[in-house]
């Protein structure tokens, strides 16, 4: 049995056997999450409301006023954290359950310390008992990287509070009772982080309160930041071996004819999860708790149900939200059968080499653009990567970097993230030069099965002759028969049907409204322009789909998709394609 390294769990699930994935979390787990959030809101409300008269006086002999106020602040903070924990509990996160148990237990003490709030303390006791009773329902594994980030935040904020406390004591050293030493200063600052008075006595109450409030604030901040980071979904780092890549490459060669996106599974920033037979694999990336796959599973279609089930179990094991970006019709049916919802995301433009022609009124704009560029003296060369000289490859790489729009490479589902890797010998370069032999444009295609090409990279000099892209695409189609290529996949047009139908007679108000919204979004993302630029070639439009577990998860999935495609900030952004074996990159397609 083949098992990808990235699919192995980082730690064993506590006490319970592996739970199968479900489109909806168990109702009992949802109910627990909601009760925890309600208890958190109740904590906040009881802190905000004024305490009954005389309760502070009853505590005055037991705790200093700073301790009482710290307990109030801590109660409010713990309440907000319980509200925050609801999302993790709903996904079955064991660490969220652990933190909720600690907060419920601490809440009992805090509610009593801030003014004998027996009702709030009773709620915390009930919450603690409930969490212990239902503990077996929360066993999704934690993300180990967050432990160190949480610890760093805890130490960092606590250390800063300790240093500030020492500084405040130092500036008031002439207003201290007696002559306490540095050790006493350190004790005062350290105890202040947990809201307890130390051995130092100040001549004026204001000085004591200032030190207590400052250190107490940093103490609360350190705990809150550590909890948030501890529960924040981490991104699984891909751990792929050379053997994994070799097997995936072979699967793509044997079974990649059905999906033009199959070759992009070879991106270095995608993890791999294998079917038990090893004859199918899903390439995915985990972004903020979303396990985002792209395209169809790679391998035998008969093995797709097994690899999809294995991937969904991996999502359930870690409490991740599964999503698939840009799969085809057959894969969409397989994912729907496994329990995911499927909606049409857009259409991919496919050109048929045998039927492609520049003749006819529909191709007039393309024909004129190509003629204009040819009259300007532009020429194109079409070469497989393995046939490029080192000098020509280096020139193409420099051009790709120079013509990039912006500092960040974009792409995930339809981009390879590298240019010039020797293992990509079948990739195709289309390089356009002007009359002075300067590189003015570049197209890069990856193999699509044995007889197709899929566009990976499209770059052009903005000062070049208008019609540069049309000239390079037409050159590709002209050279395709000699390369044994029968079909070419161009760009993907998101929600293409909205633009196409909005131009038709009788478009309804909902369709027209959708069209206006997409036009407004096109100011920030290339939505309408990609559709228009591909429609001029009269392609066949092939639908692509988005798969997701529930509508409520769509906002999280949308953020993950935009982060993967580099439209939102994210870690590990690379700004060049000239290092083939480097960290994740984004390619603008």
Instruction: Tell me what pLDDT residue 444 has.
Output: 93
Q: Which two tokens stand for residue 542?
A: 């092939």
Sequence-distant (6+) residues with CB within 8 A of 181 are: none
What domains lie within the chain, and their CATH numbers?
Answer: 22-142 (no CATH), 378-537 (3.40.630.30)
Per-residue pLDDT of the chain in tens (589 residues, 90 and over written 9): 444 433 433 333 333 445 666 666 666 778 888 899 898 888 888 876 765 554 544 554 455 555 666 677 777 778 888 888 888 888 788 778 888 888 888 888 887 777 677 888 888 898 889 888 888 878 777 666 667 777 787 888 788 878 888 888 888 777 777 778 788 888 888 877 776 677 787 777 776 767 777 777 777 778 777 777 766 665 566 677 778 888 999 999 889 888 999 999 898 888 899 998 889 999 999 888 899 999 999 999 999 999 999 999 988 888 888 999 999 999 999 999 999 999 998 889 999 999 999 998 889 999 999 999 999 999 999 999 999 999 999 998 888 888 877 665 566 778 887 888 888 989 999 999 999 989 999 999 999 988 999 999 888 888 888 999 999 999 999 999 999 999 999 988 887 777 666 666 566 676 677 667 766 766 666 776 777 888 899 999 999 999 999 888 889 898 888 888 766 655 444 444 543 333 223 233 3
Distances 302 to 155, 255, 340 between C-alpha atoms, Å: 52, 11, 19
pLDDT of res. 281: 93
Whole-number Cα distances in Å, 462 to 170, 536, 575 = 62, 20, 19
Distance of CA 410 to the CA centre of its chain: 14
Q: For residue 301, what are the contacts with CB-CB under 8 A and spacing of at least 6? A: 255, 258, 330, 334
pLDDT reported for residue 22: 65
The pLDDT of residue 342:
94
**Residue 344 DSSP code:** E
Give the whole-angstrom CA distance, residue 430 versus residue 400. 12
Predicted pLDDT of residue 4: 40
Q: What is the pLDDT of residue 222?
A: 80
Q: CA 39 to CA 104: how far, in whole Å?
A: 9
Cα(46)–Cα(79) distance, integer angstroms: 10
Q: What whole-number distance in Å separates Cα of residue 421 and Cα of residue 301? A: 29
In 3-state terms, what secondary structure has residue 136?
A: helix
Coil, strand or helix: which one is 274?
A: strand
| Residue 570 per-residue DSSP state | -
Distance in angstroms (rounded) separating the CA atoms of residues 352 and 392 = 29
Please give the pLDDT value at position 507. 64
Distance separating alpha carbons of residues 515 and 19, to the nearest angstrom: 43
Q: In this structure, what token pair is assigned to residue 437?
A: 């032999």
Give the integer Cα–Cα distance in Å for 36 and 82: 6
Q: How far is CA 215 from CA 65, 70, 219, in A?
A: 15, 10, 6
Q: Which string of DSSP letters, residue by residue, matches 125-170?
A: HHHHHHHHHTGGG--BPP-HHHHHHHHHHHHHHHHHHHHHHHHHHH
pLDDT at position 580: 36
Strand partners, 453: 447, 488
Continuous segment of H or E residues that includes residue 474 = helix 468-479
User: How far apart (Å, rounded) are the C-alpha atoms in residues 398 and 570?
Assistant: 25
SS3 (DSSP) at 177: coil
What is the C-alpha radius of gyration for the chain, rounded to an integer number of angstroms?
30
**How much is the pLDDT for 19?**
60
Pairing of strands 321-327, 290-294: parallel
* Chain centre distance of CA 115: 44
How far apart CA 513 and CA 498 sit, in angstroms, is 10
Is the C-alpha dihedral spanning 171, 177, 179, 184 positive or negative?
negative
Report angle CA 514, 515, 518 to the nearest 5 degrees. 85
pLDDT computed for residue 588 by the predictor: 31
Q: How many helices (H) and strands (E) does the chain have?
A: 18, 12
From first CA to last CA, the distance across the chain in angstroms is 37
Tokens representing 318 are 């870690």
Question: Residue 159: which region, alpha, beta or left (left: phi > 0; alpha: psi -120 to 50)?
Answer: alpha
Give the containing element (helix H, strand E) for 240. none
The token pair at 93 is 């996160």
């Amino acid at each position: 049995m083949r098992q990808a390294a990235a699919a192995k769990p980082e730690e064993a699930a506590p006490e319970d056997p592996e739970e199968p994935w479900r489109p909806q979390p168990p109702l009992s787990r949802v109910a627990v999450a909601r009760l925890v959030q309600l208890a958190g809101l109740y904590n906040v409300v009881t802190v905000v409301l004024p305490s009954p008269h005389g309760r502070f006086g009853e505590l005055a002999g037991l705790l200093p006023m700073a301790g009482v106020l710290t307990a109030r602040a801590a109660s409010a903070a713990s309440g907000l954290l319980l509200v925050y924990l609801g999302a993790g509990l709903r996904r079955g996160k064991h660490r969220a359950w652990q933190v909720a148990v600690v907060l419920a237990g601490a809440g009992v003490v805090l509610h009593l310390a801030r003014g004998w709030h027996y009702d709030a303390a009773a709620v915390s006791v009930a919450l603690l008992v409930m969490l212990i009773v239902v503990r077996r329902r929360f066993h999704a594994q934690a993300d180990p990287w967050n432990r160190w980030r949480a610890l760093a935040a805890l130490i960092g904020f606590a250390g800063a509070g300790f240093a500030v406390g020492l500084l405040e004591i130092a500036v008031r050293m002439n207003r201290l009772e007696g002559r306490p030493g540095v050790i006493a200063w350190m004790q005062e600052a350290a105890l202040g982080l947990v809201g307890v008075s130390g051995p130092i006595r100040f001549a004026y109450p204001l000085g004591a309160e200032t030190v207590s409030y400052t250190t107490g604030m940093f103490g609360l901040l350190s705990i809150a930041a550590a909890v948030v980071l501890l529960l924040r979904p981490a991104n699984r780092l891909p751990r792929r071996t050379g053997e994994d890549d070799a097997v995936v490459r072979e699967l793509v060669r044997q079974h990649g004819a059905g999906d033009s996106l199959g070759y992009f599974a070879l991106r270095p920033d995608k993890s791999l999860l294998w079917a038990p037979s090893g004859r199918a694999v899903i390439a995915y990336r985990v972004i903020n708790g979303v396990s985002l796959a792209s395209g169809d599973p790679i391998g035998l279609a008969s093995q797709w149900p097994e690899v999809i089930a294995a991937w969904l179990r991996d999502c359930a094991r870690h409490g991740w939200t599964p999503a698939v970006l840009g799969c085809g019709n057959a894969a969409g049916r397989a994912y729907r059968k496994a329990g995911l919802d499927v909606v049409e995301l857009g259409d991919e433009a496919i050109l048929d080499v045998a039927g492609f022609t520049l003749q006819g009124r529909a191709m007039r704009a393309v024909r004129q653009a190509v003629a204009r560029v040819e009259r300007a003296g532009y020429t194109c060369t079409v070469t497989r990567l393995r046939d490029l000289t080192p000098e020509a490859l280096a020139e193409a790489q420099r051009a790709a970097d120079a013509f990039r729009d912006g500092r960040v490479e974009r792409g995930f589902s339809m981009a390879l993230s590298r240019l010039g890797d020797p293992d990509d010998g079948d990739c195709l370069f289309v390089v356009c030069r002007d009359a002075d032999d300067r590189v003015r444009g570049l197209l890069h295609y990856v193999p699509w099965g044995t007889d197709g090409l899929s566009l990976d990279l499209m770059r052009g000099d903005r000062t070049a002759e208008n019609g540069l892209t049309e000239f390079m695409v037409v050159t590709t189609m002209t050279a395709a028969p000699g390369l044994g290529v029968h079909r070419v996949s161009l760009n993907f047009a998101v929600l293409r049907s909205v633009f196409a139908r909005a131009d038709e007679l009788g478009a309804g108000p909902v369709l027209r409204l959708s069209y206006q919204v997409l036009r407004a979004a096109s100011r920030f993302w290339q939505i309408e322009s990609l559709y228009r630029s591909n429609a001029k070639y009269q392609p066949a439009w092939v639908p692509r789909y988005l798969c997701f577990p529930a509508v409520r998860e769509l906002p999280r999935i949308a953020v993950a998709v935009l982060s993967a495609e580099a439209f939102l900030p994210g870690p590990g952004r690379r700004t060049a394609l000239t290092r083939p074996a480097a960290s994740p990159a984004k390619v603008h397609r």
